[in-house]
Every structure is written in C-alpha cells, then in structure tokens.
C-alpha cells in the first residue's frame, strides 16, 4: 500500500483519513486531493494521520500548503491521531506551535 | 483507446454482469488470469455493498492509459446511508461480513479511495495498473 485517502462528510465536519506513506512519490496525489477540498468558515477539516506509516518533508510541505489555504479562507483545520514519530516532525519544525494538533486522538 | 462502461447495480444478476464486464475488460487490457480474478473479486465486493446498504447504485469501469502504462479503474456511486466509521470498515481485524470487505478490496487493487457523505451516499474509486 502506498497511499490511500478517504473522505467522510458529516454536517460541517469533513474528515480525511490518510493511510500509508507520504513521500516524494505519493505527495502529489495527497496535494491534489487536499486542494480539492472546499474550505469555508463553517467547516472543520479534520485530518486523521493515525494510519500514516511514514512521512518526509514533502508531506510536511503538503500540510503547510493546506494550512495556508485554510488560514487565508478563515477555515478550521485540525490534525488528529498523530503517532509519536509523526508528531515529532511537527515539533522539530515548529509547526505544532501553529497548527491545531491532537496526538493519538481518534475520530469517532 | 479509451473505454467507459457503466453498469447499474440493482439486483444480484447485475453483480454477475459487472463481474463479466470486469473480467472481459481486464483481459482486453492484458491482465493475467490472477489479476483478472483480483479485479473481478474487488468489483464483486463493491457491487455487493451497493445492494446490501444502498439497494441501488452505478459502477463505471474505465480503461486507463498513462505514461505508456495501462490499467483499469472502477468507480462505484450510490445514494445510500454512507459510511460513518471509515476507519473501522478499513480495519483488517474488524471484518464482520462473509466477504473480503473493503480491506480485501484494498489489497486486491493498487489504490482505493472512499468518499462518504453520511446520509447522502458513498463513492468508491479504485485502480489497478499492469506491471
């Protein structure tokens, strides 16, 4: 399995479940999928990374791009279910200071 | 060559029709017997899901060509209840039904994408490429 992306919409919450590895090879697919999301002030976009087994800086770049788009449109973005390894990437880059991140939290 | 085939899934016999079309299409593309069986099994699963949960839906089979590579895509769309817990239905250890379920489909194909609009419907998209 390389990378699979699934969407679930309930009322104003869009949950995005990402499974697999995010690297140079798979990041364009992730970027394309995330760019297709309609951002609005009323909507919460929740990215569930609990099934992400590997991520490099390309992956971080994709999430930063989404974060910038969401911020520009006054939308809401939350990252949930991060494993310790993935969370560390957000910590050492300082992104955890900016982004709304929940470690290990599960989307119901 | 570009081919798009649409099958309405409403009864058990539509599943058989979808299987036949998937087998013929994957054979035309050049998939070997084993991969043909994988593709046919995958389409069975999603067609069965349509009948079980949404009663009616549409499956579209398309021949893909990209960078001199050939493949097949299968798209299923229904207006059923949607999937509330996507993570659970993709969990290998949480199989409830008799079939391979969506984790099985994911293993049989190269990629699987689910879009669920809860209360409104589900879209499943999957691809497999010739090696």
Residue that the structure tokens 């200071």 belong to: A97
Q: Which residues in B lie closer than 8 A to residue A25 (C-beta atoms)?
A: none
d(CA A70, CA A39): 6
Burial (CB count <10 Å: 0-12, 13-18, 19+), residue B53: middle
Interface test with A, best of B86, B105, B110 (most A CBs within 10 A): B86
> Nearest CA to CA, how far is A68 from chain B (Å)?
24
pLDDT(B97) > 90? no
> What whole-number distance in Å separates Cα of residue A108 and Cα of residue B95?
18
Answer whether residue B120 shows pLDDT above 70. Answer: yes
| Predicted pLDDT at B47 | 96
The domain ranges of chain B are: 4-129
Res. A108 pLDDT band, cuts 50 70 90: very low
In the sheet that A44-55 helps form, which strands lie side by side, from edge to edge? Answer: A101-103, A76-82, A44-55, A13-22, A3-10, B111-117, B121-129, B69-78, B57-66, B4-9
**CATH superfamily of the domain spanning A3-103:** STAS domain (3.30.750.24)
List of chain B residues whose C-beta atoms are within 8 Å of the C-beta of residue A15 = 86
Question: Can you give the pLDDT at residue B91?
Answer: 85
Token duo for residue B57: 């839906």
Interval A45-104: pLDDT, tens: 999 999 999 999 999 999 999 999 999 999 999 999 999 999 999 999 999 999 999 876
Q: Per-residue pLDDT for B93 more than 90?
A: no
Residues in chain B with CB shorter than 8 Å from the CB of A10 are 84, 118-119
B-chain CB neighbours of A5 within 8 Å are 113
For the stretch B56-77, pLDDT in tens is 999 999 999 999 999 999 999 9
Predicted pLDDT of residue A93: 94
Q: Across residues A11-22, what is the average pLDDT?
A: 96
Tell me how far CA of residue A82 lies from CA of A65, B10, B71, B104, in angstroms: 18, 40, 34, 25
ipTM of the complex: 0.82
Look at residues B89, B39, B25, B80 and name the one whose alpha carbon lies nearest to residue B58: B80
CB atoms A10 and B84 under 8 Å: yes
The pLDDT score that the predictor gives to residue B79 is 96
- Bridge partner residues of A16 (DSSP): A7, A47
What pLDDT shows up at residue B4? Answer: 87
pTM, 2 dp: 0.86
Report the pLDDT value the prediction gives residue A88, as an integer from 0 to 100.
Answer: 93
Please name the residue of chain B whose CA is at the shortest distance from the CA of residue A5.
B113
Q: Which of A1, A17, A106 is facing B86, going by the closest CB pair?
A: A17
Residue B96: which pLDDT band, with cuts at 50, 70 and 90? Answer: low
Domain ranges of chain A: 3-103
pLDDT at A107: 47
Give the architecture-level CATH label for domain B4-129.
2-Layer Sandwich (3.30)
Give the pair of three-digit tokens for residue A92: 């050492």
B116 with A7: CB under 8 angstroms?
yes
Compute the average pLDDT of residues B97-105.
Answer: 78
């Amino acid at each position: 399995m390389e990378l699979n992306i699934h969407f679930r919409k309930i009322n104003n919450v869009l949950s995005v479940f990402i499974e697999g590895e995010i690297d140079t090879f798979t990041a364009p697919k992730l970027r394309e999928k995330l760019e297709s999301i309609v951002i609005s002030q009323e909507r919460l976009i929740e990215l569930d990374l609990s099934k992400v087994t590997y991520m490099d800086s390309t992956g971080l770049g994709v999430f930063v791009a989404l974060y910038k788009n969401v911020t520009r449109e006054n939308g809401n973005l939350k990252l949930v279910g991060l494993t310790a390894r993935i969370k560390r990437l957000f910590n050492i880059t300082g992104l955890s200071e900016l982004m709304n991140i929940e470690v290990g939290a599960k989307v119901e | 060559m570009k081919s798009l085939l649409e099958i309405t899934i409403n009864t058990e016999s539509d599943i058989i029709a979808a299987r036949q079309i998937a087998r013929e299409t994957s054979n035309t593309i050049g998939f070997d017997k084993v991969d043909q069986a994988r593709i046919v099994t995958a389409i069975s699963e999603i067609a069965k899901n349509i009948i079980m949960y949404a009663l009616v839906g549409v499956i579209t089979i398309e021949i893909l060509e990209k960078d001199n590579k050939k493949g097949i895509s299968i798209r299923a769309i229904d207006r059923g209840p949607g999937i509330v817990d996507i993570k659970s239905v993709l969990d290998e250890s949480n199989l409830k039904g008799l079939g391979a379920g969506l984790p099985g489909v994911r293993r049989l194909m190269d990629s699987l994408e689910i879009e669920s609009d809860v209360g409104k419907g589900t879209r499943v998209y999957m691809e497999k490429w010739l090696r």
